[in-house]
Amino acid sequence: MSPIRRPLVGGNWKMNLLSAEARDYVARLGQLSVGQAEVVLFPSFPLLTTLARGLAGSPVALGGQDLHPGAKGAHTGDVSGPQLVDAGCQWVLCGHSERRQDHHESDALVAAKVAAAIEHGLTPLICVGETQEERQAEETFAILERQLRAALPSARDRFELAYEPVWAIGTGATATPEIAQEAHAFLRRTLAEVMGEAIAARCRILYGGSANPDNAADLIAQPDLDGFLVGGASLDPDKFLTIIRACGWS
């Protein structure tokens, strides 16, 4: 954890929870202090308005899990940046590996989504990460660099990053603190080359991949790790809060 970058923790609910469960979750979250970490929830689209109402007045922000590059039009099943803003979002995930894999999102499409997010006043949380095969083939840095360089020209200076090794997502095979730090330091060096030292120094690089209450403290102790993007463990507010507290400056 850096002394200058405020930790950021995102909860990616993916395609989980119903509105009654979301209301209960918010009630449990509201009873507990989140310390000084910045917190964002990324529910599925139908839950956004329920959460926007529930989180009104709370320091917890709201984000979409995806957006279409266009502002409106004939795109069945998609959601636009203005619609996310209208539903109460300040953030949006761009390039999550489940979108890259399940929906064949290319680097160019991720870059277009990042541009749309910025244009509509949303902060993109850009996700990058290598698969198991790419790591075994020693292509990790090449993949990270390719994904990052493709997305950055659209990102101007308002974005944050998440390193999410695909082999660690939802598998329980969390990256060791050393593996995570190596990737985060590489991403920050690449950021400095592309965007300059100031942006590289302020950008939060979150770790995502089976983060949980048992491994969060060791991971967040790494100097280039600035928080977490949490999937499975964010569905349980107690686990999510334990991870948030591990990142607390308080």
Residues in contact with ligand PEP by CB under 6 A are 12, 164, 169-170, 208-211, 229-233
Annotated catalytic residue within 98, 105, 130, 164: 164
Distances from the Cα of 41 to the Cαs of 65, 84, 117, in angstroms?
Answer: 9, 13, 17
Q: Which is nearer to ligand PEP, 195 or 204 (CB)?
A: 204
Hey, CA dihedral for 199, 9, 16, 184, is it positive or negative?
positive
> 239 CB contacts (<8 Å, ≥6 apart)?
212, 213, 233
Residue 153 CB, nearest approach to ligand PEP (Å): 24
For the residues of 127-157, what is the DSSP string, one character each?
Answer: EE---HHHHHTT-HHHHHHHHHHHHGGGTTT
Residue 6 CB, nearest approach to ligand PEP (Å): 20
Annotated catalytic residue within 96, 120, 134, 160: 96
Q: Which is nearer to ligand PEP, 81 or 165 (CB)?
A: 165
Residue 234 CB, nearest approach to ligand PEP (Å): 7
Clarify whether 75 is annotated catalytic.
no
Clarify whether 164 is annotated catalytic.
yes
Residue 210 CB, nearest approach to ligand PEP (Å): 4
For the residues of 99-118, what is the DSSP string, one character each?
Answer: HHHHT---HHHHHHHHHHHH
Report the alpha-carbon distance of residue 128 to residue 187 in Å, rounded.
10
- Residue closest to ligand PEP when measured from CB atoms: 231
Q: Which is nearer to ligand PEP, 66 or 164 (CB)?
A: 164
Helix (H) or strand (E) holding 244: helix 237-246
Q: Which is nearer to ligand PEP, 150 or 166 (CB)?
A: 166
Query: Which residues are marked as active site?
Result: 96, 164
